[in-house]
């Protein structure tokens, strides 16, 4: 679709995330490689639709190349296991003589994709997320996944799951050695006056500005309080946000 590619180029985006979102927590990247016409369809339990697997790692990387954007892959830290995440790193970045690199070459891409940015899971703090677990258990899961991924390629940049409040605080205290950035997601809803009428447009737009400030200030506070962050520069990856309308 050259018309679509032309439109996407006009956005001049710096980075694209894949697959991202709640979908990733029951996604097996190995289902979405090879001949698209021979890939097994899978039920997407996050959104209750059939996923044909027409788009996988190879197609995503080709798209990023066409658009000259940085690829950013989110691994399955829900139902997924550390070994699967590590194999995905090797498939993307390994030499053609590694097991997963050989598989990539067989699929038509002998040269490594050299993907730098990798997110360890998506919104694992939410009970809507497949594989959700208590925070005290998830910090161990994050560490195990991160260690497995870095054992394959220690040059990658890992983005941990954050959520301002107890979740981000614990992640920053227990997992600072196993991340380079930490993600924060937010959605803001329109507010209404006491009589039920919406506030004006300027006040509505300010919701996002105010939330960005709140997130940044929270992380400044973490840096000042947590010994685990001394000497570190863990930045925020604000990789999902929007306005939310209605209930």
Determine phi and psi for 14, rounding to 5 degrees: -90, -25
Q: Is-catalytic flag, 240?
A: yes
For 63, other C-beta atoms within 10 Å of its C-beta total 17
Q: Which of 59, 70, 190, 240 is catalytic?
A: 240
Find residue 187's DSSP bridge partners: 242
Closest CA to 175 of 92, 77, 91, 99: 77
| CA distances from residue 21 to 113, 125, 185, 243 in whole angstroms, order as listed | 22, 13, 10, 16
As a whole number of angstroms, the distance between CA 203 and CA 1 comes to 39
Strands 42-44 and 49-51: antiparallel
Complete edge-to-edge strand list for the sheet that includes strand 15-18: 15-18, 70-75, 117-120, 157-161, 181-189, 235-244
Q: Tell me whether residue 81 is one of the annotated catalytic residues.
A: no
The alpha-carbon radius of gyration of the chain (Å, integer) is 19
Give me the catalytic one of 90, 123, 169, 184. 123
The two three-digit tokens of residue 60, written as one number: 């995503």
Of 218, 222, 238, 239, whose CA–CA distance to 230 is shortest? Answer: 222
| Residue 72, beta-bridge partner list | 17, 117
Q: Which two tokens stand for residue 204?
A: 């509505």
CA atoms within 13 A on the CB side of 169: 6
Please list the active-site residues.
123, 240
């Amino acid at each position: 679709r050259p018309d679509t590619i032309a439109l996407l180029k006009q956005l001049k985006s710096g980075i694209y995330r894949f697959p991202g979102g709640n979908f990733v927590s029951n996604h097996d990247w190995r289902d979405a490689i090879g001949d698209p016409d021979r890939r097994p369809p899978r039920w997407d339990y996050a959104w209750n639709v059939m996923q044909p697997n027409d788009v996988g790692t190879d197609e995503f990387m080709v798209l990023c190349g066409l658009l000259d954007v940085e690829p950013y892959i989110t691994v399955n830290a829900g139902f997924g296991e550390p070994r699967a995440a590590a194999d995905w790193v090797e498939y993307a970045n390994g030499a053609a003589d590694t097991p997963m690199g050989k598989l990539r070459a067989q699929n038509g891409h002998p040269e490594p994709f050299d993907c730098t940015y990798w997110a360890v899971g998506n919104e694992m703090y939410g009970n809507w997320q497949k594989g959700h677990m208590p925070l005290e258990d998830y910090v161990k899961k994050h560490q195990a996944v991160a260690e497995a991924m870095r054992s394959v390629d220690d040059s990658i940049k890992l983005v941990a799951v954050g959520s301002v409040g107890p979740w981000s605080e614990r992640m920053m205290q227990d997992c600072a050695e196993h991340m380079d950035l930490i993600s924060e997601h937010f959605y803001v809803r329109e507010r209404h006056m006491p009589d039920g009428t919406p506030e004006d447009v300027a006040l509505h737009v300010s919701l996002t500005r105010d939330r960005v400030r709140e997130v940044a200030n929270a992380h400044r506070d973490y840096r000042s309080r947590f010994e685990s962050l001394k000497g570190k520069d863990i930045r925020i990856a604000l990789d999902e946000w929007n306005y939310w309308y209605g209930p």
